[in-house]
Chain A
C-alpha cells in the first residue's frame, strides 16, 4: 500500500492528451514539492518533472506537471508510442521524515 495514490493504469490513443493523478496528504504533497519519474520497460526510472512543474533538460514540453493542495497531476499531450511506460509520483513526507512514492501508473498508448 503506497502512501501516494495513483491509478494503476491509463490509456489513450496517439496524438491525444492523458492525465495521471497523484493523491497524497498534508504531510507530503500538501507541504512539499512533487516529482514525477518515467520508467520505460526494462529500464531504470528517470526524472521527468521536478518541483511540481519543472522539466529537466531534454524532456519534451509535451510533459507537464501541476499541483493543487494535496494532489498533483502529470499531463502528457500529443501522445507517442514511446511514451508507453510506468509513471511514478514522489514527494518528501514530513511525518515519516522520508521519501514516499505512488504505486505507479502504467500508460498504454493504444
Chain B
C-alpha cells in the first residue's frame, strides 16, 4: 500500500527539541521530493519545509528557518524534521507530503495522517 506514516510528535517545553519521522512505503521514495506542512489547532495549512529527492536541496519557511532541519534517508525510506528552539506557535499537526513536479506544474499527491506537536510548559 502506498502510504506515509508520521511519528515522533508529543509534548515538549518551549525552547525544547523534537525529531519527527515520516516512513514511506509502496513507492520509490528516492524518486520524489518530500515536504512538511503543518496545521495549528483550528487553523489552515502552513508550508514548513522541503527536500529534493536526493537530499541535495532544502527549503524552509521563514517562520522555521534556522530552527528546523529537514533530512532524509533514502536507504530507510524515511523523511525527518529536526525541530529546535520550539515556540508555542510551532504547536500543530505536522503532515509529511509527497511532491510531484514537472516543468509546468507541481503539487502534493500523497499525505500522511499527521503527528501532533504540543509546545507547553
Contact = CB atoms under 8 A, between A and B. Distances in A.
Interface stretch (A9-17, A18-26, A70-78, A90-98): A90-98
Interface of A: 2, 32-33, 35, 37, 43-47, 50-51, 56, 88, 90, 92, 97-104
Contact of A46 (B46, B61, B105, B111): B111
Interface in B86-100: 95, 100
B104 interface: yes
A102 B109 contact: no
A101 B59 contact: no
B109 A44 contact: no
B49 to A, nearest CB: 9
B111 A44 contact: yes
A90 B47 CA distance: 10
A45 B111 contact: yes
A56 B100 CA distance: 12
B109 A47 contact: yes
Contacts of A43: 113
Contact of A103 (B44, B104, B108): B44
